[in-house]
């Protein structure tokens, strides 16, 4: 087995999140993490620090997620030198997406967020070319879609590889052919997460879904996605 992706939240307070298999089509928010908005619309810059072989995947993923009435994000070209792509430094109030050969880490995608209370303040996504450089096109698109989705506060719809595909990139699968894009349930979940305006930030502890394993190391919170 190898890790497929890892979600990491860095907070000033102790918050716990984790994973194991969740029921298909159940609520799949990543705890209570979300971007603070005044009108329920997340309009962030996504800094593209990916090489040309990934740029099309990011454009498609952003377009897919922007189908939600609560997301209006813009991809902007950014530094693609190896140092930037390796470190993938976060930018306040924005998301950065990077790719590099991060080595035999066990994960092919990693999404991280910094939070203040339950509010996301910045995030990034790393795509591991050690595993994904030669992967099928459908898998690369699905991994990109899933990791960017995590940066908006979404978790996985299902974490059982043997279940039928749900037709969403937020699903565990052995065959990404029909799991490259969000589905209606993802958009419904975004509506639930962002169907409010934030008058002020209030620190809340995110809770794990029933049956989930919760992992904490210092002020870093991690949700691990396992692959067959």
Domain count for the chain: 1
Whether residue 211 is predicted with pLDDT greater than 50 in this model: the reply is: no
Per-residue confidence (pLDDT) for residue 27, from 0 to 100: 83
Q: State the maximum Cα–Cα separation within the chain, in Å, rounded to a whole number.
A: 46
Which residues contact residue 134 at a Cβ distance below 8 angstroms, ignoring those fewer than 6 apart?
A: none
Q: Give the mean pLDDT of 11-17.
A: 31
**What pLDDT is stored for residue 25 in this prediction?**
55
In a 3-state reduction of DSSP, which class is residue 29?
Answer: strand
Percent of the chain with pLDDT over 70: 75
Mean per-residue pLDDT, 162-183: 92
Over residues 203-224, the mean pLDDT reads 39
Q: What is the 3-state secondary structure (H, E, C) of 79-91?
A: CCCHHHHHHCCCC
Q: What whole-number distance in Å separates Cα of residue 124 and Cα of residue 115?
A: 12
- Per-residue pLDDT band for 30 (boundaries 50, 70, 90) equals confident
Q: Average pLDDT in the 21-38 region?
A: 76
- Residues spanned by the domain of 17: 2-227
pLDDT-derived band of residue 164, with 50, 70 and 90 as boundaries?
A: very high
Q: Which of 96-100, 166-170, 194-198 has the lowest mean pLDDT?
A: 194-198
Binned at pLDDT 50, 70 and 90, residue 7 comes out as low
pLDDT tens digits, residue range 59-74? 999 999 999 999 999 9
Contacts of 55 (CB under 8 A, 6+ apart): 48
CATH number for the domain spanning 97: value is 3.40.390.10
Angle at 216 between CA 34 and CA 162, to 5 degrees: 75
What number is the average pLDDT over the span 113-127? 91
Residues 138-162: what's their mean pLDDT? Answer: 92
pLDDT tens profile 68-104: 999 999 999 999 999 999 999 999 999 999 999 999 9
Which pTM was predicted? 0.83
């Amino acid at each position: 087995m190898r890790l497929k992706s890892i979600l990491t939240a860095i907070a000033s307070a102790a918050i716990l999140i984790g994973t194991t298999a969740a029921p298909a089509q159940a609520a799949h928010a990543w705890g209570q993490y979300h971007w603070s908005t005044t009108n329920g619309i997340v309009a962030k810059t996504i800094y593209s620090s990916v090489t040309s072989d990934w740029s099309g995947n990011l454009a498609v993923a952003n377009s897919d997620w922007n189908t939600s009435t609560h997301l209006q994000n813009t991809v902007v070209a950014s530094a693609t030198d190896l140092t930037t792509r390796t470190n993938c430094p976060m930018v306040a109030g924005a998301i950065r997406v990077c790719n590099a050969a991060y080595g035999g880490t066990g994960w092919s995608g990693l999404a991280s967020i910094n939070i203040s209370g339950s509010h996301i303040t910045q995030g990034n996504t790393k795509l591991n070319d050690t595993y994904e450089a030669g992967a099928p096109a459908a898998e690369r698109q699905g991994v990109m879609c899933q990791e960017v989705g995590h940066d908006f506060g979404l978790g996985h719809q299902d974490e059982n590889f043997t279940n039928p595909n749900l037709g969403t990139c937020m699903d565990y699968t052995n065959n990404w052919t029909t799991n490259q894009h969000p589905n209606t349930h993802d958009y419904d979940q975004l509506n639930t997460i962002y169907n409010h305006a934030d008058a002020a930030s209030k620190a809340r502890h995110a809770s794990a879904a029933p049956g989930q394993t919760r992992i904490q190391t210092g002020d870093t919170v991690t949700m691990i996605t396992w692959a067959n």
